[in-house]
Structure 1
Amino acid sequence: MLEPNGPLPPEIYWRRRALAIGGAIVVLLLVVWLISSLRGGDDSETDPAAASSSLTTPVSISPTASGSPSSGGSGGSGGGGGAAAAGDEGSGTASASGSSTSGASSSAGSTSAAVSGQTVAAGQCPDQSLAIKVAADKPTYLPGEEPSFTTVITNIGTTSCQRDLGSSLQQVLVYTIDGSVRLWSNIDCFPQSAADLRTLAPGEQAQFTVKWSAKTSAPDCLTQPEPQRDPVGPGAYTVVGQLGQLRSAPEPFNLS
């Protein structure tokens, strides 16, 4: 039955059979494609509906409590004041030198937030534009010598500004070597002074010197009936300068 029979050559019958088989395959493929297209169309019509349903489904979001925003401290309105230029009891050696630009980078000192400090007056140099450094004038003081401390305040900003550097707005504080015990401050017994408004150009410095009688003191010592001021014995100590909310790095010195 596979052999073609007829008046024509066998090759012609084989060609007709091949064409018929090919046509049948093409038709079959078209049917399969049509069925697949119809199914794909159904899926495409169903999926958007499902997507739309998922998008419109209400979602319950539980509210979260938010803390009140913390206000960042601004040096412009943060503490003010200055490092000390007032002398200690009986010393009378408070001195203030004019500003100078020599050694500005080395005298900038470290600036860190202090626990307390007076408010900077409006329009004056903000704390973040200033740096304070203080150091003893000698590494070691002999018995009977009054330690002398020099404070340097530097404008580290980019513009000129004014700041009241009166001695009551500055502090020079002496601590034990580990910083745990406060022994003295220049404004404990001399809290008041006249204003000293300085204009500092960028990089300009103001220098102040104060002497210490090597005795202890406490805040508001003038209000105490009999202020207790004990001599400080030999040992290692540190001195710190404070201006507004800025504090210098502690500098060591010795009493022999």
Structure 2
Amino acid sequence: MLEPNGPLPPEIYWRRRLLAIGVIAAAIVLVVGAGILLTGGDDHKATPAAATSTAPVSSSAGVTPTGAADSGAPSASAAASASAVSANVACPDQSLAVKVTVGQPSYKVGDQPVFNIVITNISTQACQRDMGSGLQQVIVQSLDGQRRLWSNTDCDKGAPADVRALTGGQQAAFTLTWSGTSSQPNCAGDRVQVPAGPYAVVAQFGSLRSNPEPFNLL
């Protein structure tokens, strides 16, 4: 090491050199210590992160399709089977509703009015019923209901069965065209053109009867 040169005594220079060396050593110690603390802090933070990332894996591993089935939740195939069984049950009258509407409010004499019949399963259970045309009775009557002019069953020679399976709330729709002529049970008597006037149509299915729907022949 070089000898100190200067106007001051040599011990002064030696003391300054020793002080500088001490400051540099302390700085090195602080830098090294800070690096160790930072490295240790990162390791401490990484542990919860690793635990957090693995937690969902361990929890989801316990949920399996078999466990879900054992819990009592019905499978799609089981639900379909239950629906099929319910659909094989005959619809009682009290589970159904019938409604009739007219294609348009007025027709000219000689036209063929169109009637729309809708049968609705008003229950929550699936069921089935033969709804063939021979089982649906559509009646044209005077507006006050006192005079019957025509019914589709008067001259009906019978039709094949038409079994409909309806889920809860489902509807079956049918369309019927009237010739505009009169009729009698067993197709007795002559069939004549119904004259102009106000009329009403009613649909009946089993013991169910719709509200009268008015229309006009002009």
Shorter-chain TM-score range: 0.5 to 0.7
Q: Aligned residue for 1:241?
A: 203
Structure richer in helix, relative to its length: 2
Seq. identity, %: 54
Q: Aligned residue for 1:250?
A: 212
Q: Aligned residue for 2:16?
A: none
TM-score, length basis structure 2: 0.58
Within 1, Cα distance between the matches of 2:214 and 2:166?
A: 28
Q: Aligned residue for 2:110?
A: 144
- Aligned partners of 2:110 and 2:193 also within 8 Å: no
User: 2:165 corresponds to which letter in structure 1?
Assistant: T
Q: Number of residues paired by the alignment?
A: 131
Q: Aligned residue for 2:193?
A: 231
Q: Aligned residue for 1:184?
A: 150
RMSD of aligned C-alpha atoms? 1.3
Stretches of structure 2 lacking an aligned partner (at least 5 in a row): 1-87
SS at match of 2:98: strand
User: 1:239 corresponds to which letter in structure 2?
Assistant: V
Q: Aligned residue for 1:173?
A: 139
Q: Aligned residue for 1:163?
A: 129
User: 1:205 corresponds to which letter in structure 2?
Assistant: Q
User: 2:195 corresponds to which letter in structure 1?
Assistant: G
Map 1:71-150 → 2, pairs under 5 A? 123-150=89-116
Divergent runs of 4+, >3 A: none
Within 2, Cα distance between the matches of 1:182 and 1:155?
A: 29
Q: Aligned residue for 1:196?
A: 162
Deviation of 1:248 after TM superposition, in Å, equals 0.1
User: 1:231 corresponds to which letter in structure 2?
Assistant: Q
Deviation of 1:144 after TM superposition, in Å, equals 2.5
Q: Aligned residue for 1:153?
A: 119
SS at match of 2:185: coil
Deviation of 1:124 after TM superposition, in Å, equals 1.5
SS at match of 1:220: helix
Stretches of structure 1 lacking an aligned partner (at least 5 in a row): 1-121
Deviation of 1:191 after TM superposition, in Å, equals 4.2
Q: Aligned residue for 1:209?
A: 175
- 1:36-93 Cα shifts (integer Å, max 9, x gaps): xxxxxxxxxxxxxxxxxxxxxxxxxxxxxxxxxxxxxxxxxxxxxxxxxxxxxxxxxx
- Aligned partners of 2:154 and 2:183 also within 8 Å: yes
Within 1, Cα distance between the matches of 2:131 and 2:109?
A: 32
Larger RCO: 1 or 2 (CA < 8 Å, sep 6+): 1
SS at match of 2:159: coil
Within 1, Cα distance between the matches of 2:141 and 2:110?
A: 19
Deviation of 1:143 after TM superposition, in Å, equals 3.1
Within 1, Cα distance between the matches of 2:96 and 2:109?
A: 36
- 1:86-116 Cα shifts (integer Å, max 9, x gaps): xxxxxxxxxxxxxxxxxxxxxxxxxxxxxxx
Larger Rg: 1 or 2? 2
- 1:228-248 Cα shifts (integer Å, max 9, x gaps): 111100000000000000000
